[in-house]
Amino acid sequence: MQLMELIQRSGLSCTVGLAAANTVSDMEILEITDDSRRAGPGVLYCATRNGRKYIEQAAAAGSVLLLSPSMNAPANASVLRVASPERVMAHLAAGLNGHPSKEMCVVAVTGTNGKTTTTHMLYHLWKKAGLPCALVGTLGLRYFDGEVEVSRETGFTTPRSYELQAILRELLDRGIRQVTIEASSEALSLGRLEALTISGVLFTGLGRDHLDHHRTLASYMRAKRHLFFLAARTKAFFSVYAEDEALHSLRRFAERPCIASRLALPGNTSSSFSLLSAIEFESEITARQPVPTGFNRINAALALFAFERTAGRFASASRTGPHVKGLDLADFSGVPGRMQRLRVSDAIDAFVDYAHSPDSLERVLVEARSIGYNTIIVVFGCGGDRDPGKRPLMGEIAARLADLTIVTDDNPRTEAAASIRAQILTGVAERAGDLLRPALEIGNRSEAIRAALAHARQISVESPARRIAVIVAGKGHETYQIIGREKMHFSDVEEIEKEIERASRSA
């Protein structure tokens, strides 16, 4: 496709200024990227946050460059100047792929916690109803075309805009029109979702996370809220579980005159903006799932809300028609690394969870207690080269809510692992002494997991009637540990399974 035609098909004719000769606008564009390794003739190279370091390499390879006004261009390079390469790239990628989302039902899920579980629950309901469907998120791409299910990795929670648009094109060509996407705050701030036609938004709540990228909670919330702005351009539905400042922020946003017609507040009969109520997430149907914690019931209520509003939209696409009545999540298999339960003994369960923020760790520990565990042992650490402010907060939460806290390593990266643990332990010290609850520091994560299970068995011998939960938090589905710049294989699930097997052999 010629560059000028691509710009017009992308709906950018009024916002993109061409600072190039006519020969540039007539160039054939076959691919869009911000990966310099893919640069070359026929490739539009976008100088995004990821790509701006490699402008000269892309120009030398023969790519047309998409630059901001402040970026220097190599001599004799073919250049387009735009205010935001990230956002323009998203629109151009949509145009190159024929705007697939316009023919689809796209449900975007955002929030600090619960995105992965909610998208998997909605996908499960669609699939159970016989609808061709897909999900895109932290665990990659998964789709069901009505007969066959396929999974593959994508590398990002929310893929880069040109990758996402190509995925949607592929899905649409396979006859799949129901898609749910995890919308990360980073992806929203980088413009990856700008050109999507969004049918619905689910908001799972706001906690502290990703401040290494956003710097402040206000900036983090603005990134999340931006999804509502994008969806307000279409007749999307919205369902929100929000508390405190997050809810107030969304209310203020909804009241803006420019989008009030799209985001009417509850009470308006034409409202598309729904606040999830306790009645909805505490209903009998949300309890019918493998691990019915409070937050999983919220996730289920959001997924059921979206399912009810989307199941019939492309009913003709299903060979058997959608079976929507009586559907629940009783046979939902869960999500790897999200309160993933491993049975250790009759009295002991181990859980692997991705909780790596203060809010998510607190939720996991509170909910474990609420579903009947008398003793809770938690193993966790904090990632290096990330928000250090959350480390003592998480230490305090663990010491307050768990009966035994074991502080270990979790992707220390280029920071000194001992220093990270020390920062966590300052928070532990604030509470552990007051509550007379023990805490251990075991840097080696394998040894920490073994120690936690050994403590659980000892407690079980001394108090056979107690139900014990060993919660290994932070890494979830990840199968690696990053120490320095080296990435090595490591899985919390595998470590627990090895220890269970070892114990069974020695019994």
Which residue positions form the known binding site? 36, 111-117, 157-158, 184, 192, 386, 410-413, 474, 478
Query: What is the C-alpha to C-alpha distance for residues 380 and 492, in angstroms, rounded to an integer?
Result: 11
221 to each of 118, 188, 268, 464, how far by Cα in Å? Answer: 19, 11, 25, 46
253 to each of 235, 248, 426, how far by Cα in Å? Answer: 17, 9, 38
Q: Are 229 and 259 in contact (CB under 8 A)?
A: yes
Tell the burial category of 436 from Cβ atoms under 10 Å away from its Cβ (0-12, 13-18, 19+): exposed
SS (H, E, C) 406-427: EECCCCCECCCHHHHHHHHHHH
- Binding site for ATP, residues? 111-117
Q: Left, alpha or beta for 442 (phi > 0: left; psi -120 to 50: alpha)?
A: beta
Buried b (16+ CB within 10 A) or exposed e, 86-101: bbbbbbbbbbbbebbb
- Binding site for meso-2,6-diaminopimelate, residues? 386, 410-413, 474, 478
Query: What is the C-alpha to C-alpha distance for residues 106 and 201, in angstroms, rounded to an integer?
Result: 9
256 to each of 2, 177, 203, 293, how far by Cα in Å? Answer: 39, 32, 19, 35
H helix or E strand, kind and range, residue 439 = strand 439-441
Q: Are 114 and 353 in contact (CB under 8 A)?
A: no
Q: What is the largest CA-CA distance in the chain?
A: 82
CA–chain centroid gap for 185, Å, is: 9
